[in-house]
Structure formats: structure tokens, C-alpha cells
């Protein structure tokens, strides 16, 4: 039977090592355990040692719960990296780095390198501190800055291109490939895998594929637009209560569908021109009779300063235009010359009103 007092001061920084942690306060030990538990190398023996340490005193439970709350609270900010760097164990340099096949690092050394990464680590789930330990599935957040696209290759080989000022959360494991579009627009070129569905969720809409190319995009009024370039795509209106049935429509190449914030299909399936719809992948925006409010929403992903419409009467004004990301400012001047639009440049924004 392991002595809890001894177990409280002993753990492994790597599942293949028996490196002892130095004697320290419950708060420091809690941080060390938390870092180890999220490191990716978790053996059943170490789970048992953790539970013994956790249940050996109320002080340990309180310290661990507090550290976990802090971890979750800062999980979506850059301070998460700073917090990890500040509180990881001092012997981290003795740990042999292990190449991870997943998104999350399997070595404490990798936490130091995270400061230079745009990806932030997010954790969902709860530790059951009395009977067993559940390690939550890690999610990785990818974001793109205003003004430029960003292309990411996920661990399954799928390529994702984010439009400017866009964000996704990604979870990929042996059973599923799951992405959440948090804002903006994303184009997915999905690696074929018949054993794992690739799903993209946004609000109450879920897109499911196994290998295809498509775009999911937030548009005005928090509506979504799903556009398929290659393969078959299922679009599901997720039920909001158990007594509701899921509604699913299938899209083919060059087909498009719109849904609202509740996931309801708000348009019939339509045909679109890929050269126009996907022009942003080539640093260009192309519109043919598109409402001004939608054009401005796209422009704000790339404009040096935000553009706002202060007159609802021009929101639906149909716009036809073609311009590169670098031509946004002269394009705005062109809009004011060609349409009944007044353009006013302020210090921190450009304002559009009816002329």
C-alpha cells in the first residue's frame, strides 16, 4: 500500500521515468500534477498516484481545484502560456522530448515553445476528484489576423484556410475529426477517411463530410453560408431539444445553402460560381449584385481600419465589384463615386451613409 505522504512528493515527468518531484507546497504540487496530466503521457499507475495524492488531504484537493480553475479561466488567452511557463516543474529540462502525433504536446518542453505559437490550448471537461480521473479532450484554437488569410494543416492532413479575422477550434482523435467555426470564414480541403467523419459546427448548423472541399462562412445577421467545391457534403440543422428531429440536406459540387442562427435552412439549394465565391483564397474579393452589408462584412476582415454603415437604407444596395485586398481603400472611394453612398474617413474608422 503506497504511503499517501510519500506519494504526495513523488510522480513522473515522463511515463518512462521515475523522476521524483521535490518536496513542495500543495499549491506547487497541484500545478506540477496539472501540467503532467495534460502532458499526454499518462499511465494508469500515475493516475492512481495522482488520486492518492489528491485524496490524502483537503489542502491538496483545494489546491488542485484552484489550479484547474485558473487553467480553464485563462485557457483562451496568451496568459495561459505565461502561466504554464511560470509554474512548470524546474526539472523540465531533464525530460526527453517526445514527438506528438496529436495536436497537444507530450513533453513539458513543448510548453515553452508554445509562446511563439498562434494556437492556443483549450480544455473542456471536469476532473472527478473522488473516484476516477477523466482527462478532457484537448481542443486547439487557430486564429487569423485582420488583413490576411492563414492556412493550417491539421494532424489528419486536412488543409484549412482561414479568411482574415477568423477563428476555429479543432479536436482530432482516433474516433472523430471535429471543428467549430467561431467567427469569420474557413475553407476546408478534407483528407479522405471513411472511418472518421469530419464535422464543422457553427451555431446550430453542422456540416459533415469524409473527404471533400468546401467553405463555411459567417455572413450578415449571423447567418451561415455553406459552399461546396468538391465531393458530397451533409448539412444538418441540429435539434435544440430531444423531441426534435434532425434535418439534413446534401450538397453537391457548386451547390450552396444558407442557414440562420438557429440552424434553420433559410434558402433553397442554389448554384454558385466557384471563381467568385472562392476568390478570397487568391487575395481578391469579387461580387455580383451582393448586398452592401455583406460586402462590408468581408472587407472588414482585411481593411486597415473598420468600415461601418450608419444608414440602414443602403444595407441592401446591390454591389458589383472586383478588387484585391490591397485595393480596399480606393475601392471604397469608387463605391462613393458609382453608388448613392457618402464616404467619410474618421480617425479610427470609415463611415458609409446615404448620399
pLDDT tens for residues 81-94? 444 444 443 333 33
Residue 265 CB contacts under 8 Å (≥ 6 apart), including other chains: 235, 237, 247, 249, 257, 258, 259
Alpha-carbon gap, residue 107 to 100, rounded angstroms: 8
Percent of the chain with pLDDT over 70: 70
Q: How many CA atoms lie within 13 A of 22 on its CB side?
A: 7
Coil, strand or helix: which one is 95? coil
> What percentage of the chain carries pLDDT values higher than 90?
55
For the stretch 211-264, pLDDT in tens is 899 999 999 888 999 999 999 999 999 988 778 888 999 999 999 999 999 999
Confidence band, pLDDT 50/70/90 cuts, at residue 139? confident
| Average pLDDT, rounded, for the chain | 78
- pLDDT mean over 148-160: 96
Mean pLDDT of 309-332: 95
pLDDT at 216: 97
More confident residue, 310 or 221: 310
DSSP string, 43-80: -HHHHHHHHHHHHT-HHHHHHHHHHHHHHHHTTTSTHH
pLDDT tens track for 25-81: 888 888 777 766 655 455 667 777 877 888 888 888 888 877 766 655 444 334 444
Q: How confident is the model at residue 314 (pLDDT cuts 50, 70, 90)?
A: very high
Residues 6+ apart with CB under 8 A from 70: 83
Distance (Å, rounded) from C-alpha 161 to C-alpha 144? 9
Q: Are strands 138-143 and 198-202 parallel, antiparallel or unpaired?
A: unpaired
pLDDT at 172 over 60: yes
Residue 219 to residue 291: CA distance in whole angstroms: 11
What's the whole-model pTM score?
0.64
Quick one: average pLDDT of 303-320? 95
Q: Looking at the DSSP assignment, which residues form a beta bridge with residue 276?
A: none
Per the model's pLDDT, the better-predicted residue between 192 and 39 turns out to be 192
Cα 329–chain centre separation:
30
Cα atoms in the Cβ-side hemisphere of radius 13 Å centred on 125: 13
Q: How many helices (H) and strands (E) does the chain have?
A: 9, 20
Amino acid at each position: 500500500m503506497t504511503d499517501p505522504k510519500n506519494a504526495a512528493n513523488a510522480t513522473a515527468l515522463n511515463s518512462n521515468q521515475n523522476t521524483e518531484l521535490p518536496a513542495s507546497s500543495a499549491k506547487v504540487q497541484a500545478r506540477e500534477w496539472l501540467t503532467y496530466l495534460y502532458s499526454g503521457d499518462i499511465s494508469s499507475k500515475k493516475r492512481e498516484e495522482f488520486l492518492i495524492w489528491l485524496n490524502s488531504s483537503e489542502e491538496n484537493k483545494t489546491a488542485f481545484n484552484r489550479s484547474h480553475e485558473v487553467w480553464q479561466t485563462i485557457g483562451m488567452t496568451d496568459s495561459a502560456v505565461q502561466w504554464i511557463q511560470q509554474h512548470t516543474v524546474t526539472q523540465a529540462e531533464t525530460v526527453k522530448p517526445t514527438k506528438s502525433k496529436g495536436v497537444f504536446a507530450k513533453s513539458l518542453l513543448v510548453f515553452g515553445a508554445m509562446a511563439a505559437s498562434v494556437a492556443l490550448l483549450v480544455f473542456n471537461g471536469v476532473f472527478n476528484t473522488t473516484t476516477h480521473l477523466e482527462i478532457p479532450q484537448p481542443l486547439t484554437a487557430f486564429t487569423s489576423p485582420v488583413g490576411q488569410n492563414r492556412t493550417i494543416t491539421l494532424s489528419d492532413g486536412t488543409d484549412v484556410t482561414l479568411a482574415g479575422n477568423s477563428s476555429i477550434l479543432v479536436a482530432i482523435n482516433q474516433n472523430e475529426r471535429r471543428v467549430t467555426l467561431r467567427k469569420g470564414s474557413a475553407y476546408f480541403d478534407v483528407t479522405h477517411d471513411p472511418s472518421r467523419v469530419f464535422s464543422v459546427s457553427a451555431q446550430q448548423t453542422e456540416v459533415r463530410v469524409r473527404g471533400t472541399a468546401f467553405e463555411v462562412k459567417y455572413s450578415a445577421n449571423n447567418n451561415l453560408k455553406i459552399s461546396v467545391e468538391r465531393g458530397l457534403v451533409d448539412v444538418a440543422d441540429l435539434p435544440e431539444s430531444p423531441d426534435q428531429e434532425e434535418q439534413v440536406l446534401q450538397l453537391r459540387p457548386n451547390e450552396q445553402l444558407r442557414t440562420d442562427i438557429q440552424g434553420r435552412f433559410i434558402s433553397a439549394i442554389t448554384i454558385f460560381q466557384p471563381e467568385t465565391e472562392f476568390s478570397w483564397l487568391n487575395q481578391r474579393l469579387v461580387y455580383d449584385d451582393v448586398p452592401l452589408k455583406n460586402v462590408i462584412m468581408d472587407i472588414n476582415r482585411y481593411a486597415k481600419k473598420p468600415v461601418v454603415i450608419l444608414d440602414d437604407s443602403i444595407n441592401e444596395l446591390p454591389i458589383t465589384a472586383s478588387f484585391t485586398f490591397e485595393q480596399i481603400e480606393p475601392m471604397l472611394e469608387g463605391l462613393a463615386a458609382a453608388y448613392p453612398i457618402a464616404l467619410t474617413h474618421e480617425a479610427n474608422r470609415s463611415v458609409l451613409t446615404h448620399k
